[in-house]
Amino acid sequence: MLAVVGPMSLRDQGEDEIVDAELVDEEHGVVLALVDEPPPLVDSNTVLFPGQELPTAADGPQYSDRDLYVSEETAALLEETDPTGTGPMVAFTAWCAQHGRIAVPCTTATYTEYARHLMARGLKVSTIKTYMSLIKTAMPPGKKPDNSLYLRLLDNYRKNNKRALRTRRAFPITLPYLIPMMAKAEAEDRPIGWRDCAMLAFGYRFLGRSVEDANLEIEDLTFINGGLLVWLPEDKTHDEEQNLVLMDRPDLQLVPRLTRWLDYMASQGITSGPVFRHVLRSGKVATAETRLKTATSRGLHLRGQTINDRVKYWFAAAGLVTDGRHVSSQGVRAGAATDLAQNEATDEELERAGRWRPGSRVPRTVYVRPAQAERNDPFVRVPVHKPAAT
């Protein structure tokens, strides 16, 4: 039998006026429900010691405005790194608007449908995974879509579209291509040519990714006898700092070319900050006081795309042609790795030079093995067929 106990019974109060009462099983004396008391806060991960009471909302901290607001400085930094401003997120937002869907926060159905849209475009598997990861990251905390359905679609796409797994490599800009590019840049005898020439020489010897070249700062460089010491705070595969020794070469002329560019910036009072930065039409180098119309969130640092464009420009200006592969800034890194592999550098030597992750398959499969196959082609032992004269 159940009874209501409390300051007043149901007979004394209207049914809607009960303020503090319990439903009690009279036979067993067990409280079945509690009115106007904080509910317990428990889930499947709650662990209580013997004698502890169930935690309730009343046991938690009482937050004030100070606990909820961030400072103006923190807000400004967060806005600068807003993940909703990435290219994939912009494209996703436009697609959602076109199809009458909400982009932020998106539903799992919308997220999955957009993945199928990318697959219908025939994009590479690695590209799709990158785009979908950036979109999910851009969603508010606690409102991220479930990616299990999208991954099922991607697994099927991978099985049925083997060509979507193919990685299209950039044309390797080896020394026979790089030297004419730098010569062309120097022939114009202009500041932007001096900058680009130093950038090409450094990118090759450093085996740098374009963003690593763009992030380089004057304070990171120390000239040593016959070369350069570079301090690298981190890179794509290493979180810890590195000190890299880059010895110069007579054909590369890294030290004199980089010194010429740094001396030119120093003549304008620039002795710290980004090494490779914008050059104005007047020949002056961009500074914090110079407001460029093309300024981006990277400030004085060049974008990786800018370096990419300059590599393409000098490749074409030098009158060079490829074997059909595309030209990009990645080609400078690939060219250095190719030169090393073709001159019998080991997997480990390439791995260290390019700062690939220990055990990475890239040096071995992309550079060393093709170079070995080229040197050891078994068909060179087959005599060249010469048709008999008729």
The candidate with the shortest Cα–Cα distance to 207, out of 235, 239, 183, 168, is 235
| Cα 377 to Cα 96, 102, 370, 374, distances in angstroms | 53, 57, 10, 6
Least reliable range by pLDDT among 69-78, 118-127, 244-253, 291-300: 291-300
The candidate with the shortest Cα–Cα distance to 40, out of 22, 58, 24, is 58
Distance, CA of 147 to CA of 132 (rounded, Å): 9
What mean pLDDT is predicted for residues 43-49? 88
Distance, CA of 65 to CA of 18 (rounded, Å): 34
**Runs of H (alpha helix) within 101-172:** 108-120, 125-138, 148-160
Residue 20 has pLDDT above 80, yes or no: no
What mean pLDDT is predicted for residues 232-259? 87
Q: Read off the pLDDT band of 55 (50, 70, 90).
A: confident
3-state secondary structure of 27: coil
Average pLDDT taken over every residue of the chain? 83
Confidence (pLDDT) at 36? 59
**How does pLDDT run across 84-139, given as a tens digit for each residue?**
777 889 999 999 999 999 999 999 999 999 999 999 998 888 889 999 999 999 99
CB contact at 8 A, 195 and 275: no
**How does pLDDT run across 157-168, given as a tens digit for each residue?**
988 877 656 667
CB contact at 8 A, 139 and 104: yes
Q: Read off the pLDDT band of 287 (50, 70, 90).
A: confident
Residue 33 has pLDDT above 60, yes or no: no
**How does pLDDT run across 176-204, given as a tens digit for each residue?**
999 999 999 999 889 999 999 999 999 99
Domains in the chain, please, with CATH? 1-41 (no CATH), 88-165 (1.10.150.130), 175-287+298-373 (1.10.443.10)
Residue 148 has pLDDT above 90, yes or no: yes
Least reliable range by pLDDT among 65-69, 82-86, 140-144: 82-86
The candidate with the shortest Cα–Cα distance to 158, out of 132, 133, 130, 123, is 123
What mean pLDDT is predicted for residues 297-320? 89
Confidence (pLDDT) at 159? 86
Residue 9 has pLDDT above 90, yes or no: no
Confidence (pLDDT) at 344? 85
User: Which residue bears the tokens 């990475």?
Assistant: 360
What mean pLDDT is predicted for residues 35-61? 79
Q: Read off the pLDDT band of 312 (50, 70, 90).
A: very high
Confidence (pLDDT) at 182? 96
Confidence (pLDDT) at 291? 55
Half-sphere CA count of 54, side-chain side, radius 13 A:
9
Confidence (pLDDT) at 390? 66
Which residues contact residue 369 at a Cβ distance below 8 angstroms, ignoring those fewer than 6 apart? none
The candidate with the shortest Cα–Cα distance to 363, out of 252, 237, 246, 247, is 237
User: What percent of the chain lies above the pLDDT cut of 90?
Assistant: 42
Q: Read off the pLDDT band of 292 (50, 70, 90).
A: low
Q: What is the pTM of this model?
A: 0.65
Confidence (pLDDT) at 153? 94
Confidence (pLDDT) at 37? 65
